Amino acid sequence: MDASHVDGDLVNVLFSEDDIQQRLAEMAAQIEADYEGKDILLVGVLKGAIMVMADLSRAFSRHVEIDWMAVSSYGSGTKSSGVVRILKDLDTDISGRHVLIVEDIIDTGLTLSWLVSNLSSRKPASVEIATLLRKPDALQMSVDVKYVGWDIPNEFVIGYGLDYSERYRNLRCIGTLAPHVYS
């Protein structure tokens, strides 16, 4: 789906499909250089990271392994419950492995901070983070992110895996959602 299919729902397009693919290729090249001679396990955080994970992994010129986690920090509403729950855990034993968490976006950093702590307790060789987007103005918890596609303003963005009520994930670009959609 492209931006013309959701005309009126977007305030603007921040990153086109081509922008995203080029940035992911650059990130993959940097990651490959940093992990030369080491096996990498990419851990995607469902559901949002599915597009980033797919395209980032395809941008590598070597083998990488992939696994998935799903975590939730929300109760029944839209406010965080403060408690993180694992909805789907890894299938892979990560002890002694080089783990790279792949995220679509980092907002507050609270859930990601918990996830890094949880994975670190499993005795991997290393745990690093790669994210396509980060909102520095929204951070409530300091999280050391090694690979960042772009820093963006604290706005509601959708597309390329990012959703609003499970819609817009399959939008090929990333854009700012118009307030009338979610107000």
| Catalytic residue positions, numbered | 107
CA separation for the pair 42, 35 (Å, rounded): 12
33-39, Cβ contacts within 8 angstroms, sequence gap of 24 or more = 34/146, 35/98, 35/100, 38/98, 38/125, 39/63, 39/65, 39/97, 39/98
CA separation for the pair 141, 49 (Å, rounded): 20
Q: Both tokens of residue 148?
A: 């960042």
DSSP H or E run through 111:
helix 110-120
DSSP H or E run through 29:
helix 17-34
Which residue matches tokens 């499970």?
Answer: 166
